[in-house]
Amino acid sequence: MINKPFKKIDNCESWEKQNYEFWENQVKKYGYDVKSTNFDLLAEELELFYLEKFVNDGEVICDLGCGNGRTIIELAKKKQNTIFYGFDFVEEMVDVANEKKKKLGLGNVFFYLMDACSEDLKVKFFSRFDKVITKRLLINLKGESKLKAIENIHSILKDHGVYIMVECFLGPLTKINSIREKLNLNKIKVKKFNEYISKDFMRQIEVLFKAKKQIDFESLYYFVSRIFNAYLSTGEPDYLASINKLAIELTKIGVRLVEDYSPEKIIILQKLSNNRNIGGKAYENTNSK
Ligand SMILES: C[S@@+](CC[C@H](N)C(=O)[O-])C[C@H]1O[C@@H](n2cnc3c(N)ncnc32)[C@H](O)[C@@H]1O
């Protein structure tokens, strides 16, 4: 039985509270629709296209901050010999995911209510997964919480397990915004409770993970949608504009015209051995086998 994470932090306007309430409202509004977790349907399609390449038969895979479960439900449909676990700290997200799983009769995907930063996660799922995915989870966490989540990911991975980080980085957003500014387009803002990944953060986690590969899978699409389509649109740009769809198709067939213009990237990280240090603090495994 998994303990429930906090439901709400009362009487405080912390980023944690904003984070929780934002996602709770999204799922109440949109349920299993992709809009619960992402308004950019085409970007979502591209993420899935690339993620699929990293899922192998016989693996046990965790999606931490799985939202309404769409990503691993889609993967579980295609990869019947892979076991998927999805964790999210919003009860309604987990309920919607479980309903969909039941409706589809999928036996290889499981959803649980769980806070990515909790001790519970580490204790209950220690060394259980071949791979852990985070798809825009870390950007919702700040400071110590972000580090705690990273330590938990390290703990729940098997030895030499792989962390597939699908997160948004600060550098490319700054580059896109500087072009937008020159074209008199509004700057793209991040949500108040979001904190994009910095180079410093990536350096901090080097004690726990070794970066094996970086996949800049979205630059062409992001450049086309956030510069070309934004500039050419009268009024609100349409996420599903033909020019955006073209960028997706070109990316899928391997066309790369620009680099490092998408905040979102996939970083493949390999777990290093335990009992290392992060942020100067001793990090110990209390659950050694
Ligand atoms: C941007 S959405 C992404 C959802 C999913 N990974 C996807 O790509 O569709 C972020 C998700 O992280 C979840 N989340 C945020 N903070 C969390 C935490 N501390 N523990 C677990 N889940 C969290 C939110 O509830 C939300 O479902």
Q: How far is the CA of 243 from the centre of ligand 1 (A)?
A: 29
Answer whether 135 contacts ligand 1 (Cβ < 6 A).
yes
Q: Strand, coil or helix: what is 171?
A: helix
Do β-strands 109-113 and 83-88 pair in parallel, antiparallel, or remain unpaired? parallel
Q: Strand, coil or helix: what is 62?
A: strand
Q: Give Cβ neighbours of residue 132 (< 8 Å, ≥ 6 apart).
A: 61, 62, 63, 64, 153, 156, 157, 161, 162, 163, 164
Answer whether 169 contacts ligand 1 (Cβ < 6 A).
no
Distance CA 40, CA 57 (A): 29
Mutate to test the pocket of ligand 1, among 39, 72, 89, 148 (most ligand atoms within 8 A of CB): 89
Tokens, residue 143: 């400071």
Q: What's the predicted TM-score (pTM) here?
A: 0.91
Q: How far is the CA of 203 from the centre of ligand 1 (A)?
A: 23
Give the right CATH number for 6-169+192-217+262-274 from 3.30.499.10, 3.30.1330.60, 3.40.50.150, 3.40.50.300: 3.40.50.150
Residue whose token pair is 């953060």: 201
In the chain, the amino acid numbered 230 is A
Mutate to test the pocket of ligand 1, among 137, 138, 165, 191 (most ligand atoms within 8 A of CB): 137
> What residue spans of the chain are helical by DSSP H?
15-30, 41-51, 70-78, 91-104, 119-124, 143-156, 170-182, 199-204, 219-223, 230-232, 242-252
Distances (CA, A) of 227 to 40, 139, 177, 182, 249: 15, 23, 9, 11, 18
Task: From first to last of the 289 residues of the chain, give the pLDDT tens digit.
Answer: 334 444 444 445 699 999 999 999 999 999 999 999 999 999 999 999 999 999 999 999 999 999 999 999 999 999 999 999 999 999 999 999 999 999 999 999 999 999 999 999 999 999 999 999 999 999 999 999 999 999 999 999 999 999 999 999 999 999 999 999 999 999 999 999 999 999 999 999 999 999 999 999 999 999 999 999 999 999 899 999 999 999 999 999 999 999 999 999 999 999 998 656 565 554 433 333 2
Distance CA 30, CA 24 (A): 10
| pLDDT reported for residue 273 | 87
Answer whether 70 contacts ligand 1 (Cβ < 6 A).
yes
Distance CA 195, CA 225 (A): 22
Which residue's CA is the closest to the ligand 1 atom numbered 10? 137
> Which DSSP string corresponds to 232-244?
H-SSSPPTT-HHH
| pLDDT reported for residue 269 | 98
| pLDDT reported for residue 180 | 97
Beta bridge partners of 214: 267
Tokens, residue 237: 């740009």
Distance CA 280, CA 147 (A): 11
Q: Strand, coil or helix: what is 97?
A: helix
| pLDDT reported for residue 287 | 34
Tokens, residue 148: 């705690």
Mutate to test the pocket of ligand 1, among 14, 29, 118, 140 (most ligand atoms within 8 A of CB): 140
Which residue's CA is the closest to the ligand 1 atom numbered 13? 65
